[in-house]
Each structure stands twice: as structure tokens, then as C-alpha cells.
Structure 1
Amino acid sequence: MSSINREHDPRIAIFVSAHKPAAFPHGTSLLPIQVGAENAASRFSDTLHDDEGDNISAKNPMYCELTAQYWAWKNMDADYYGFCHYRRYFDFTSTAHTENDYGEIMDMFIDNRAIAEYGLDDYSIAQAVQGWDVITTPLNDVRRIGGFANLKEHWDADQHLRLKDLRHLYDLLCARHPEYREDADAVLNGRRAAFCNMFIMKKDIFFEYCEWLFPLLDEFTEHWDHVAADMQTLRTPGHLSERLLNIFIAHKQRTGANWRVKQLQCVHFTNPEPPAQLEPLEGDQQSIIPVVFAADDAYAPMVTTTIYSMLKNADPNRRYDVIVLERDISKENKQLITSFLAQFSNATIRFHDVSRAIAGFNLTTNNAHISIETYYRFIIQEALPFYSKILYLDCDLVVNGDVAQLFDTEIGDAAIGAVRDLDFLGNLNMKDGIRATYVSKQLHMTNPYGYFQAGVLVMNLDRMRTIHSVHEWLEIAQRPGFIYNDQDILNMECEGMVHYLPYDWNVMHNCAGRVDGVFAYAPADTFKAYTDSRQNPKIVHYAGFDKPWKNPWCDFGPLYWQYAQQTPFSLQITAMLAGIKRPQPPEHHERAIAEDSPLRKYADIVAPSGSKQREIMKVVARKIQGKR
């Protein structure tokens, strides 16, 4: 048990600066504060605001998170004052976590798991803070960051920061406080510093720091030439304070303050946004047809084509709630898709980020033409708690009929409404017995001829929820050995709970001649039903590798292009057809070896982070790239 005396706990106020909505840990020690609130487009309802009381909120474009520091100094009484950011927090545990070269622990979401793992709760914070005078992030070596000789070189390497501004600040500091010259020289000519402008201080130290810091910055900005500064250069005072913090602590320790100083690791959350939640549409829920898709940014042209074909053939008297599950579709593409489909007044287009739902699961596929997005259908039952029944459609198909008719299909107590899979059934009848063995040993199905194709589904969400939770579905999805991944899992777990739909609702095209080469081996009645459905298909499914955006001569290819050429992505799809790859956006960061570089995994093996080999590699990489 901790020795902390709960009756006399000091008041710990750690302010979490935020200029955009974020998920914040609950408690009394971590206090979210909106910075730049005076000129913000919207006001946060669940945070403090830096424009109340004595404040410098208007200076936020230059002072960054310092406007929260000033506000806390002038308006809050506490025993300890600390500062984090909406995406960066201290790790308040005693457990060492792996850092990147920038001295940061990288994680994704601020959720219950993260709160527990990094001690973002009042009790853990009190244990970590009490008894210390000053806490900072770890002292990081700029040689580790990019092979820099010292902090001045590190500053000058940033294309938005000017060395003359650092020199100007240095001159002001030495003029105001000549006793700090030795410490400023030691820090700026040195290689180690605490970055991110995060710290925790006892009240008297914090007040002394603010009384020293803000007059310096005010004098600097008073005569600072920043008329033509870009948005990043405008943040120079905030960057300067990061260096000044190190100089302040170095001076006090050198001159006998004897503060108890420690470092806590910094955890950087890449997705600090609050969890996105879908809400039911307004109006009569019984009249709504919810249709769910799953796509990534590369598939934006294809999902748009599919949705367009569906709405083009939809009943104008019905309402369609179109929901796209995604993780990385760009804002530009979302806007383009939404604007284009706004022509259908009876449809609502929504996007839902599933990153949180699948985080922590190792999801892979065994086919090159099957993407991770195929697993998104497993999360629908929790993502849409207000629906009992939905349609799920793949993005490699076009709709020739009204899906309202499909949605209206009565499937009773069945979990799934689907069309039998002719490809799978044909393989079951092959003499080699490979597929039959697979069904017996991997899927354990008692009636393999009931195997369905999962590209078009009527899903009874109420029944699905009784079979497995989302967590359980995704745990099964991690198991190895499945040929068709989620489709195999749905067939395995929903056997005996399937309502079979007419074949015209999922007419698979003739990919690589498989109609005669595979489908024809299926039971005669199913094959005849399939061939009949080809005459008037309500949905054509381009399942397999032979896609119309790769081969316009493929089966039903002209039908696809009839819809695709009407979308705003028609030129992009044409470029795909021509083999033209989308150009990669230019790199804007200053890393010698980018995080996503294919060289990085080899660098981590032959030159581990922090090693001499790593530093040599960085210097070489920077010289090759023409960087200092």
C-alpha cells in the first residue's frame, strides 16, 4: 500500500491543453483547458477556458500552450502545477515503456486500457508527484533525434525556426539576467534537453518560473519581426519557452537550489479524439433502410460507384441510411462523396471510424484481393445499437435493383440472409476433396452445401448479438487457417441460422472462367438458379481478382462502367485501368529515416535505437538527403 496520507493530499493540478476536441481521462488532477479560446470557432463545454479571468488567450497563435500556463498562474490555486497536451501525457507509472527516437511512447487511444497502463488517474498521479520539486519529460539527446551536434543546430534544422530569433532571445536573457549566461551556454551548446514543454512543479517554483519566463517572452515579442511569419514560425515563442525551461532548471540546480528533480516518460497518443458514436436518424425508424459498407481511402472510387448504383435504383419514397465503416478515408474524399451523393434527397451518407473497435486485434487476410476492411462487418452490431436489422454490401459490386426489396425480406429468427456461394459449392464437389476436407477439419460444418457468400447480407443484428460479442467475433478472426477469413467465420458460427436469398441478389461474375471451371460443379439445382439469375441480376458482384477497374472486358464490365463514369472519381478509376499509380504526397518531417520508411525495419535490426551505429546511419542519411 502507498504511504500517501489521504487526509492531507496536496492539490495537484495538471492542465491538459487542447485546441480541438479530445478524450480526456476523468479525475480531479488532470484538468482539460481549451487554449486559444478567445478566438476559437467553437467553445468546449467540458473544459476550462484560457480566456476567462486574467489571461493572454489572444496570444495563443504565438504562445501555444503557454496561454494555459499563464491562466493557471493567475487564476488557479494548487500545491503542484503541471502541464500536458491533449495528445501527450506523462506516464505516471513506474513501468518502463519502449520509446521511439524522439523519446516518446507511441500509443493510439485514450481509453480505459491506456489510463490503467500509464497511470492517468488521481491515485497514480499522487504517488508519482508527491515529494518531488520538479518533474519533466526525459532528457533526450539530439544526436538520437537526427545526429545534431547541439541544441542550436537542432533548432536551426527546423525550416520554420530562425536562428536569429534564438540569438535574440539569448541576448535578452543575458541582459535581464546575466547570471544565466553560463547556463544558457551550457544548455544551447549541449545535446540533451527535456522537450514537449511538459512539466510539474511545486507552487513556489512554478510561480518563480512564470515571473521569470513571461517578461522575457513579452519583451521578445514586443520587438519581434513576425509580419510575414508563417503559422509554424509564428509559434516561435512557444518553442523558445521549451529551451528556457531547461535553462531555468539548469541555473537553479547549478546555483544550489537542490531541487528533487525526476523525469517521467511521455506517451504520445496518435488518436486522441473522443470516441465517435453513430446516432439514429430522426424520423420514423421503421421507414429507414440502413445499408452498411466498409472501405479504405484507396477504395473511395469503388465504394462511391457502388453507392451511386444503389441509390440510382432506389425507391424515391424510401429513406436510405448509408454508413461507410472506415479508418483512413481522407476528409477531401469524404466531402467529395457526400457532395456527389447529395443529389439523392432520400439518402443520408455517414462515415464511421472503426479504429478503436479493432485496435489490439491482429487481423490479416489470406487473399491478395481481400482487405482488412472485410472484418468491419463484425463490429456493426455494436456500432449500430439502434438497429435490429441492416444490409451489408461489399464495395466491388453494382446494384441494379432496389435494395429496399432486399431489406424487406423476412428472414425470421435467422441471423443472416445470404445467397449460396457457387464457387465454394463447386469446389466441394471436386474429386480432389481438398475443400471438403477443409470444411470438415477447419470449419466443422455439418452441412457444407449451405455455405453462403458474404458480400451481400441481410443481418439480423439482434440475433447476431446473441451469438457473439464484437470482441469474441474479432478473437475468432485472429485464428489462423481460414481461406476466406470473415466469410468462413460467419458460415461456421451462423450455420443453421441462415435464410437463403434468391441468386439474383448476389450474381458473382465469371472471374477467370470459373462459371464453367468451378460453378458448374455445384449441385445442379443451385447452378441452374445461378445461371437463370444472370439474365436479370439485381446485384452483380465482381468477386475475385478480375475487377472491372483493372479489366474493362471482364464479365459484366460495361455494366460497372455505366455507373463508374458518372462519379467524380471516373478519371481516377480510368487511371487505375491504365496502370497509373497515385503519386505519394511529399514528406514534410525532418526525420533522417522516416517512421514508415522500408529502410527503418532494417535499421532497427542492424543499428538499434541509441547505438553508435544508429547515430552514424542518421548522419549519413541526412547528408544523402542534403540536410545539415
Structure 2
Amino acid sequence: MTTIPIVFATDENLIIQTGICIYSLLSSCGQETQYDIYIITDYGKKMEALKGWVQLKNNPHCLDIHFIKSNNEISDAYEVRGITKATYYRLLIPKLIPVYDKIIYSDVDIIFKCSLNEIYEDVDLSNYYIAGVRAYIENEKSNNYGIELGCTDSDYINAGFLILNCKKIREDKIDLEWIKLGKRNFLYQDQDIINLSCDTKKYLLPVKYNFTKQHYQAFATHTVNSFNHIDEREMEEAMRHGVTHYTGPVKPWNGLCYRHEDWWCMYQESPLFDIDYYHNRVHSFVSMKHLSLKGRIKLLIKYFFDI
């Protein structure tokens, strides 16, 4: 049996979403794999009180679920675009979880459709601090973002799914640098910090492990450009059997976004399903009876293009 440590970070606004993310992880697990799950949050008791939480914890692929309180090292971290300080919790992983030298981190606005045992076991991070999927490059300007930030090249990764070489990070005191950088006003907050500090010590994972809204839009409209070095076969594999990341402000639980149906199907299958929550959320943004023709067109555009 392979044990994979994985960390999530969340706050009181994403308690249910964290549960659904974990349920999808356990549901897509390989037969000989179990996850040792850590959640960095100040709301562990609220999570444990959720309907269906006991079933999650008793899943045969769940070794355990640990709640870890965040410390005050990031209390004055920069916030922007409505993204709270919880986004910086991933920077605390090497310090808060010293029992593992290699750990996976995942955002909670994610649905898993594949097991992580292959990527965890096969990726050699001996000479790297971190592994992640290169962010989708939409144009030449975004291709140069990493370089303008101060990185050596344009291999700028999305921080929503990472494998951390905690041993090397601790040895080289990169985690201490992260805390210092957290006080600076970076546009993409912790993601900028990780890319800048790890620079040439970043290992690029296949797109399958962080398939974002931008990847989906490019694949669905056949507009994948040459900046990304991804073929359609990889994109299709990622869409069907990968890690779906709901990037951007519109999420399945607050509006119509790309592949929102996958999230709601997972929610209905999970032990956390609640008919009142489902009815109130879905009908709040699906009902079109009260909308004008112009309003309906806008809603359909948002559904198909998530803009």
C-alpha cells in the first residue's frame, strides 16, 4: 500500500468545497493507494460537524485526516482580488508538517479524476524545490510575465497543485524566504512568491495534473497556441482523466462556469450531499425565467466562455 501525504488549505468560506475535493480524491484513488490528509484551517470543528464527514474519514483510501491551525506568520500578508490569507497557508507546509520530506499540495476548487500515486512516486525532485504545471500562456505578454517578475525563464507555474520537496526547502531555508516575501504586494500573491523564489528549481508536471479554465477554453475552441507546447492528445487526456481546477472568480457553487456539471455530479454522489444546499445554490443561478432576452444571452455566454 502506497501512502501519499496531501495538504489542503481552506477557510470558513470553503468548508463544503473542501469536503467535495477530498471525496473526489478518494473516489479516484488507485486500489493500492491511501492518502494521509492534512487540512490547514482554523475551522476544523466546523468541518468535522459536516454531514458525511465521518464517511470521508472512514473511507478505506483515507489513512487519516489531520487539522492544523495556521500560525500568525502570515497575518500581515497581502490580500487582493478577494483572495484571503488562506492562499498563503501552502507556504507554511514545510514547517507545519515536518514528518514528511515530500508532500502534495492542492487547492480545494479542484475535482480529481485520477490517482496521484504515479506522479508522486515517479517524479524525482532531488534537485528541485517544487513541481507544478506551467500556467497556460494566452499571448506573448503572459509568456513574459515570469521574466518580468524576476524569474530566469518563462516557465511560470500555477500554484493550485504542487509537489513540494520539503526536505530541500528546509535545508536551503526557502520557507523562511517565503514568509519574508509574503509581506510584499505581489499581483498573484503566493504563486508569484513560489515562482520567484524557486526559479530554476521548478519541475514541470504534465498538464493533466492542473487542467484550468484557460486550458479548457483553448482546447474547446481549438486555439492552443505555440507558447504552451501541449498537443490535443494531452489536453483531451487532461480533460477526461485529469485534475480539473476551477480557476477564476466564477466557481460551480456560485455561478455557471466551465464543467460546473462535473462538480455538482461529484457533490450529489458524496456523503456530504444536502438537498437544500443543492436546490438553493443551483436554482439561484440556473433559473432563467425572470431574465430578459439580453440577460439570457449574457448567462449563456458566461456558461460557454466563462467571461
Query: C-alpha deviations, 1:213-268, integer Å up to 9, x for none?
Result: xxxxxxxxxxxxxxxxxxxxxxxxxxxxxxxxxxxxxxxxxxxxxxxxxxxxxxxx
- Is structure 2 residue 60 aligned with structure 1 residue 311? no
CA separation of 1:451 and 1:533: change in aligned 2, threshold 3 A = farther
1:218-617 to 2 correspondence within 5 Å? 287-329=2-44, 331-336=45-50, 338-347=53-62, 348-354=64-70, 356-358=71-73, 361-368=75-82, 370-413=83-126, 414-422=128-136, 425-427=137-139, 429-430=140-141, 436=144, 438-441=145-148, 443-448=149-154, 450-468=155-173, 470-480=175-185, 482-510=186-214, 513=217, 520-521=224-225, 523=227, 525-526=229-230, 528=232, 531-552=235-256, 554-567=257-270, 568-570=272-274, 571-572=276-277, 574-579=279-284
AA aligned to 1:400 is K
Pick 1 or 2: higher relative contact order, CA cutoff 8 A, min separation 6.
2
What is the alpha-carbon distance in structure 1 between the residues aligned to residue 179 and residue 57 of structure 2? 34
Residues in 2 aligned to 1:546 and 1:530: alpha-carbon distance in whole angstroms: 25
Distance 1:497 1:469 in 2: 11
Gaps of 5+ in 1: 1-285, 581-628
Deviation at 1:510, TM superposition (A): 4.9
1:538–1:407 distance in 2 versus 1, CA, 3 Å:
same
SS in 1 for 2:169: helix
Q: Which has the higher Rg, Structure 1 or Structure 2?
A: 1
Quick check: 1:416–1:499 contact (8 Å CA) kept in 2? Answer: yes
Q: Supply the distance in 2 between the matched residues of 1:488 and 1:536 (Cα, whole angstroms).
A: 29
Percent identity between matched residues is 24
Deviation (angstroms), 1:376: 0.4
- Give the Cα–Cα distance (whole angstroms) in 2 for the partners of residues 525 and 477 of structure 1: 31
| Counterparts of 1:315 and 1:514, CA distance in 2 | 30
Structure-2 change in CA distance of 1:574 and 1:451 (3 Å) = farther
TM-superposed CA distance for 1:412, in Å, is: 3.0
Q: CA RMSD in A?
A: 2.8
Query: What is the rounded CA distance, in whole Å, between the counterparts of 1:520 and 1:566 in structure 2?
Result: 33
Contact 1:289–1:320 at 8 Å: present in 2 too?
yes
**Separation in structure 2 between the aligned mates of residue 528 and residue 492 of structure 1, nearest angstrom:** 30
Task: Give 5+ residue unaligned stretches, structure 2.
Answer: 286-307
Alignment partner of 2:98: what SS?
coil
| Cα 1:524/1:488, change in 2 over 3 Å | closer
- Return the alpha-carbon distance in structure 1 between the equivalents of residues 84 and 124 of structure 2: 29
Q: Which amino acid aligns with 2:78?
A: T
Cα shift readout 1:132-176 (whole Å, capped 9, x = no counterpart) = xxxxxxxxxxxxxxxxxxxxxxxxxxxxxxxxxxxxxxxxxxxxx
2-structure distance, mates of 1:471, 1:357: 14
Count of aligned pairs between the two proteins: 280
Deviation of the 1:576 alpha carbon:
3.5
TM-score (norm 1): 0.41
Aligned counterparts of 2:77 and 2:279: Cα–Cα separation in 1? 31
Query: Structure 1 residues 542 and 310 mapped into 2: Cα distance closer, same or farther (>3 Å)?
Result: same
> Displacement, 1:451?
0.9
> Contact 1:301–1:573 (CA<8 Å) still a contact in 2?
no
* Secondary structure of 2:125 counterpart: coil
> Is the contact between residue 548 and residue 560 of structure 1 (CA under 8 Å) also seen in structure 2?
yes
Q: 1:520-564 CA deviation, whole Å, 9 max, x = no partner?
A: 345152364653444433211111122111234x22222111111
Cα pair 2:212 2:246 within 8 Å, conserved: yes
State the 1:472 CA deviation: 3.0
Sort the Cα spacing of 1:572 and 1:363 in 2 relative to 1 into closer, same or farther, 3 A. Answer: farther
CA pair 500-435 structure 1, distance change in 2 beyond 3 A:
closer
Q: 2: CA distance between counterparts of 1:366 and 1:518?
A: 32
User: In structure 2, what is the Cα distance between the partners aligned to 1:380 and 1:313?
Assistant: 24
Partners of 2:244 and 2:59 lie apart in 1 by: 22
